[in-house]
Structure 1
Amino acid sequence: MPLINEWHASLPYIDGEPGEQARATAQKLISAELSPEHSSTLHPAIPALPGSRFSPLIEQELARKEAGLPLTGGIDLSRYEAPEAPEGPSNTEDEASKALQEWKATLRKAYISSSHLSMRHNNLTLLEEHGKNAWLIGNSQLEDILRDVEKELADTKQAVENVHKDRKLAQEAGHGELAGLEDTWRRGVGSVLDVEVAAENLRMQILDQRRQQAQQSAR
């Protein structure tokens, strides 16, 4: 991963707003630095998107949802339904044995259904007795979490605001010095130009005098 060492300093509280021409020039310089694929290719500093790691069951369910197929399988709810009684006893020994097995299976299903209904009744009773308090306690805990998050957000906003205030004060405090340095720089550039103009005039005078002396010597 490449290291990004560039940083850009700005003085938004004392610098003037750039004009349209300055903005267009800056945008032109920025566009010249961008690669042609910048709008379709991620920056090298951005890590690649990690691949998904789902279990085979989740992958199967995602494929089903993507294909728009109906949900199949799942929990067999027929075991909780009231079983139907098998047919009456038969005269033969084989049919009687078969009927006995069917009765045993029916009784087993009835036991499962009865246990399910009993557990469901107990759970509903517990929910009626303690569910309200648990719900209120859960809401209270969520409210505490919400207050902590809101306090953290408010502290972060205040810290950001303090940074902006300190930045503004620092820039405004140095505004006079920057203005003086800029004026000194302008006057220094102007003095350099005046010196260059004077030097050029002096050079022209020297050349003119040499030309005149050369003409007089030729006569």
Structure 2
Amino acid sequence: MPIANTYLEALPYIDAEPTAAERAAAEALILAEISPENQPSPTRSTPLTHPSLSPPIPLALSPLMSAEISRSAASPRTPLSAIDLSRYESPSQPSADTSLEESTAVLARAYAAHSYMRSRAVHLDLLDSHGKNAWLVGNWHLEAELKSLERELARVNREVDLITLARSGAQKDVEAEMKMLEEAWQKGISKTIETQVATAQLRAEILETMRMQTRQ
């Protein structure tokens, strides 16, 4: 059974959802902080690196390594032949006029190939006899570990859900008070601005009156 993804909620529940214009403005501010070379492009939908990350450290390669990398990049790619298939082939039988030394070398190679193939056959027989049981036991252990992790994940998810419900309840309990305080704050700001405007008008009237008295 695959482990389901977990999504955590951390945003407030009593705030209004941002409008499309507000979301676009926030995304524009985020893009403005990203350097031009790391911004999304038609061929890349996500930035390469975050602007807070330090620039990558340049590689300090020796001249020999640099030359080898250049040579490898310039040379055509060839298929990798990591497995030597000649060890699985029987050596050709020497002819009648072959010397004793050459025949001995061919016999030694044939003996080595035969010993290797015999050991491989024994290993395959053992794998066929006991490998299935070992594989099933390994799968059983992995399945038991997976179930244990899934139980732990379910427990943690339940704790997260309870915390989320507690957060939601706590915020909704003070939603009316928060709205009242926000309205009072807005009214206070509005009255402060009106008072400043009235003060500026009164100051202008006083200055105008003093100017007229000075002219008389």
TM-score (norm 1): 0.59
Can you give the 5+ residue segments of structure 1 that lack an aligned partner in the other structure? 1-9, 91-97
Pick aligned residue for 2:53 from 34, 39, 46: 46
- 2:3 is aligned to none
- 2:122 is aligned to 122
> SS state of the match for residue 111, structure 1?
helix
Question: Number of residues paired by the alignment?
Answer: 186
Which runs of at least 4 in structure 1 moved beyond 6 Å after TM superposition? 193-207
Mapped partners of 2:196, 2:111: distance in 1? 110
Q: Between the two proteins, what is the percent identity of the paired residues?
A: 40
Mapped partners of 2:56, 2:141: distance in 1? 35
- 2:4 is aligned to none
1:110-150: CA deviation from partner (whole Å, max 9, x where unpaired):
21122112202211221122111111112112213332443
- 2:78 is aligned to 69
Instruction: Please give the root-mean-square deviation of Cα atoms over the aligned residues, in Å.
Output: 4.3
- Is the 1:83–1:110 Cα contact (8 Å) retained in structure 2? yes
Question: C-alpha displacement at 1:161, in angstroms?
Answer: 3.0
TM-score (norm 2): 0.60
- Is the 1:14–1:172 Cα contact (8 Å) retained in structure 2? yes
Residues 132 and 27 (structure 1), Cα distance of their counterparts in 2 relative to 1, 3 Å cut: closer
- 1:136 is aligned to 136
- Is the 1:11–1:171 Cα contact (8 Å) retained in structure 2? no
Pick aligned residue for 2:86 from 78, 87, 97: 78
Which one scores higher on RCO, CA 8 angstroms, separation ≥ 6?
2
Give runs of aligned pairs for residues 57-206 of structure 1, distance below 5 A: 67-72=76-81, 74-88=82-96, 99-189=99-189
Can you give the 5+ residue segments of structure 2 that lack an aligned partner in the other structure? 1-9, 40-46, 60-64
Q: Which residue identity is paired with 1:70?
A: P
Mapped partners of 2:99, 2:105: distance in 1? 10
